[in-house]
Amino acid sequence: MGVPNWDELVSALFVSLVTKQVTEDIDEGQALALANAARMVGNESPLLSARYLRRGLEDGNTGDSKAFQQALAAVLYGHIGSARSASPLLKELAKICMPLRTGAKIHSVITYNFDDLLEKVLFGEGIRSRSVYSARHHPDETELPIFHVHGFLPQDASKFGDLQEGLLAFSEEGYHQLFKDPYHWTNVIQLQAFQQQTCVFVGLSLTDPNLRRLLEYAATSRDEPRHFAFMKRTSVDELLASQEKGGEVTVTHKAASDFLRVHHSLQDRVFGELGLEVIWFDDYEKMPTAVAKLRG
């Protein structure tokens, strides 16, 4: 649907910042080149880059605290289509959320995305849902709760109230708030799910430090993995292509294959310590088919 990934999101925000802050005329290509150069020189973490962007966009708009969120929403929804053109993965996730005659199959959805694309697809399928983005929101028994635990930026903000109350954990300060407040409603929702439900993680890198902290805490009460995570397996060709860009030494195909066998085995063990069993897949385009199997 044209939704940017994290790197594309950050790059687009850099372009927005540069074009607004540089006084001379500058095209998008030059702005992107400058932004990439600045990120390489600064060697900043993604969260620190996001904090830098928030400050720059707010300063460039006379201190308007909404400027960053507006820029983020503009990038987020800049190239998406309608609910009918939703990605195959979103459509499969919506089908899993459909209630059965025996009752709801899915207890709730916890999303780390800011958008409301899933809600739109659910609406198109006739599934009642409720976006939950603050402690004040309480879905009723007929609604599937969609917990936006990192913040919420719906495409049409006029349809939602109290959006300013929702945490926006896009930059460093948002994560600091999650770490310093163990009873923040988003931490409580996640921990309850990890301890009481069987969760399936789709489309996550699982590198979020707060998420890993909560998973590890929940895993201390169980000996066996309780949750499942879809993860893309790194191929030998991908590893060799990446290695060729970064060094002069040539790695053989066999060495790369042997390394990846150990690498994926270690990943299985590491994720197992967090209570996760990995479901490996080789191609992102095959992910919807893999998710569809959850419907039985």
The whole-angstrom separation of Cα 72 and Cα 97 is 28
Closest CA to 274 of 232, 233, 208, 220: 220
Same domain as 101, residue 191 = yes
Task: Tell me the pLDDT tens digit for each residue of 60-116.
Answer: 666 666 788 888 888 888 866 555 567 899 999 999 998 876 666 899 999 999 899
Identify which of 84-93, 95-104, 225-234, 237-246 has the greatest average pLDDT: 225-234
Quick check: is 192 in a domain? yes
Same domain as 105, residue 59 = no
pTM: 0.85
Same domain as 238, residue 295 = yes
The whole-angstrom separation of Cα 179 and Cα 73 is 25
Quick check: is 87 in a domain? no
Same domain as 120, residue 207 = no
The whole-angstrom separation of Cα 21 and Cα 30 is 13
The whole-angstrom separation of Cα 12 and Cα 114 is 16
Domain count, the chain: 3
Quick check: is 83 in a domain? no
Through-space distance between the first and last CA atoms of the chain, rounded to whole angstroms = 26
Task: Mark which of 148, 165, 197 sits at the end of a domain.
Answer: 197
Task: Mark which of 76, 102, 130 sits at the end of a domain.
Answer: 76
Closest CA to 56 of 114, 7, 4, 16: 16
Same domain as 124, residue 39 = no
Which own/partner contact pairs does 153-156 have at CB distance under 8 Å and 24+ positions apart? 153/69, 153/72, 153/73, 153/76, 153/114, 153/115, 154/115, 154/116, 154/119, 155/73, 155/77, 155/80, 155/115, 155/116, 155/120
Task: Mark which of 142, 173, 197 sits at the end of a domain.
Answer: 197
Residues 6+ apart with CB under 8 A from 52: 44
Task: Tell me the pLDDT tens digit for each residue of 38-64.
Answer: 666 655 666 777 788 888 887 766 666
Quick check: is 89 in a domain? no
The whole-angstrom separation of Cα 38 and Cα 54 is 16
Closest CA to 288 of 149, 102, 92: 92
Average pLDDT rounded to a whole number, residues 120-143: 91
Q: What are phi and psi of 138, to 5 degrees?
A: -135, 105
The whole-angstrom separation of Cα 5 and Cα 100 is 33
Find the domain containing 275 and state its range.
198-296
The whole-angstrom separation of Cα 96 and Cα 202 is 12
Same domain as 220, residue 159 = no
Same domain as 187, residue 171 = yes
Same domain as 142, residue 50 = no
Same domain as 282, residue 267 = yes
Closest CA to 206 of 260, 262, 144, 273: 273
